[in-house]
């Protein structure tokens, strides 16, 4: 790959990061005249906290928007990366870029959400089998456990297993995603451990 190709691909990764950085929750709450989710509830600009401080419609819009960010970023990467250079490495970097944008948004002073919905959206575009497995896993766990953080952590834990079975070319990426999601949920993990006196 020559220098112009690398420059174009890096620009696409930057675009993926900026797309991921769009603070969906804040925008939705502002448009629907709901309190800023960063100032209420858990302080997290994500769908769960929007539901806590707002309403179901706002939470659905936030969840959909966050998923759409991930899906759109990877769809664009698939179609815009320099011809012949749509390799596993560049696609993996695009997924990590949009996820990083959501968790460390440049528009929110490098803070953000937990990254679950954006991850699922990106994986749906990357390999729909993997993304669908994540969706079904999350729905099953939230229905069983009734705790959003546990459902998200369970899905993150099982994502490498899904990748190993359904999309082995993305196994390494799925391991990185799992680690990032666990790191983004560190406060939730601490709270869950304290609650259970572990």
- pLDDT tier, 198 (very low <50, low <70, confident <90, very high otherwise): very low
Contact present, 112 and 105 (Cβ < 8 Å): yes
When comparing pLDDT for 88 and 166, which is higher? 166
- What would the pLDDT profile of 19-72 be if each residue is shown by its tens digit? 999 999 999 999 999 999 999 888 899 999 999 998 999 999 999 999 999 999
- HSE-CB at 195 with a 13 A cutoff on CA atoms is 8
Task: Assess whether pLDDT exceeds 90 at residue 13.
Answer: yes
Q: What is the pLDDT of residue 81?
A: 72
**Confidence category of residue 197, pLDDT binned at 50, 70, 90:** very low
CB atoms within 10 A of CB 170: 24
**From residue 12, how far is each of 18, 67, 73, 122, 148 by CA, in Å?**
10, 19, 9, 15, 32
Indicate the helix (H) or strand (E) that contains 173: helix 171-184
Q: What is the pLDDT of residue 82?
A: 59
pLDDT at 155 over 90: yes
Residue 134 scores a pLDDT above 80: yes
pLDDT tens-digit readout, 156-196: 999 999 999 999 999 999 999 999 999 999 888 888 777 75
Tell me if 120 sits within 8 A of 67, measured CB to CB.
Answer: yes
């Amino acid at each position: 790959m020559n220098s112009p190709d690398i420059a174009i691909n890096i620009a696409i990764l930057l675009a993926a990061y900026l797309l991921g950085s769009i603070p969906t929750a804040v925008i939705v709450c502002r448009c629907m005249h709901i309190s800023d989710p960063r100032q209420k509830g858990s302080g997290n600009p994500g769908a769960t906290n929007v539901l806590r401080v707002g309403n179901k419609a706002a939470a659905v819009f936030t969840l959909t928007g966050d998923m759409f960010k991930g899906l759109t970023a990877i769809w664009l990467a698939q179609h815009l990366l320099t011809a012949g250079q749509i390799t596993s490495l560049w696609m993996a970097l695009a997924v990590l870029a949009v996820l990083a944008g959501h968790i460390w948004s440049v528009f929110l002073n490098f803070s953000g959400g937990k990254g679950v919905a954006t991850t699922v959206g990106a994986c749906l575009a990357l390999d729909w089998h993997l993304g669908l497995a994540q969706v079904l896993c999350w729905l099953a766990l939230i229905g069983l456990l009734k705790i959003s953080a546990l459902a998200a952590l369970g899905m993150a834990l099982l994502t490498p297993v899904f990748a190993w079975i359904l999309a082995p070319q993305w196994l390494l990426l799925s391991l990185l995603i799992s680690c990032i999601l666990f790191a983004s949920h560190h406060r939730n993990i601490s709270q869950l451990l304290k609650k259970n006196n572990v």
